[in-house]
Structure 1
Amino acid sequence: MGVPTTITPVTVTPEPATPPAVSRRWYDGAAAHAVLVALLVVALYPIAYMIGTSFKAPQEISNNIDIWPREFTPGNYAEGWAGIPGVSFGRFFFNSMVISVGVVVGNVVSCALAAFAFARLRFPLRGVWFALMIGTLLLPHHVLIVPQYVLFNALGWIDTPLPLIVPKLLATDAFFVFLMVQFMRGIPRTLDEAAAIDGCGPYRRFFHVVLPLTKPALVTTAVFSFIQTWNDFFSQLVYLNDLANYTVPIGLRLFLDSSGQNAIAPMFAMSVLSLLPVFLFFLFFQRLIVDGINTSGIKG
Structure 2
Amino acid sequence: MVTNKSKRFITFCSYAVLIIVGIIMIYPLLWMISATFKNNTEIFTNMGLIPQNPTFEGYKNAMKSYGGNINILQAILNTFKIVIPKVIFTVISSTIVAYGFGRYNFKGKNLMFSLMISTLFLPQVVLNVPQYTMFTKLGWVNSPLYLPLIVPTLFAVDTYFVFMLIQFLRNIPKDLDEAAKIDGCNDWKILTKVIVPMLRPAMVSCALFQFMWSSNDFMGPLLYVKTPANLPATIFVKLSMDADAGFDWNRILALSLISIIPSLIVFFAAQSQFVDGISAGGVKG
Q: Give the TM-score taking structure 1 as reference length.
A: 0.88
Structure 2: 5+ residue stretches without partners: none
CA–CA distance in structure 1, aligned partners of residues 243 and 72 of structure 2: 14
* Ranges of 4+ aligned residues in structure 1 off by more than 6 Å: none
1:149 corresponds to: 132
Query: Which structure is higher in RCO with an 8 Å CA cutoff and minimum separation 6?
Result: 2
Deviation at 1:21, TM superposition (A): 5.5
CA–CA distance in structure 1, aligned partners of residues 221 and 284 of structure 2: 35
1:140 corresponds to: 123
Cα offsets for 1:36-81 (capped at 9, x unmatched): 2211111011101100111112343233332221122123212102
69-78 or 274-283, which deviates more: 69-78
Secondary structure in 1 aligned to 2:141?
coil
Structure 1: 5+ residue stretches without partners: 1-19
1:23 corresponds to: 4
Secondary structure in 1 aligned to 2:5?
coil
Cα offsets for 1:150-199 (capped at 9, x unmatched): 00000111113111111011000010001111111111111111111222
Percent identity between matched residues is 35
2:234 corresponds to: 249
Secondary structure in 2 aligned to 1:24?
helix
CA–CA distance in structure 2, aligned partners of residues 269 and 102 of structure 1: 27
How many positions carry a matched residue from both structures? 281
CA–CA distance in structure 1, aligned partners of residues 2 and 33 of structure 2: 48
Cα offsets for 1:108-139 (capped at 9, x unmatched): 01000000101112222212111111111010
Match of 1:210 among 184, 195, 199: 195
256-265 or 127-136, which deviates more: 256-265
Greater Rg over alpha carbons, structure: 1
Checking the alignment, whether the CA contact within 8 Å between 2:36 and 2:58 is kept in structure 1 is yes
Is 1:72–2:54 an aligned residue pair?
A: yes
Q: Give the TM-score taking structure 2 as reference length.
A: 0.93
Is 1:276–2:258 an aligned residue pair?
A: no
CA–CA distance in structure 1, aligned partners of residues 16 and 245 of structure 2: 41
Match of 1:219 among 188, 198, 204: 204
Correspondence 1:154-165 to 2 at 5 A: 154-160=137-143, 161-165=146-150
AA at the equivalent of 1:56? K
2:34 corresponds to: 52
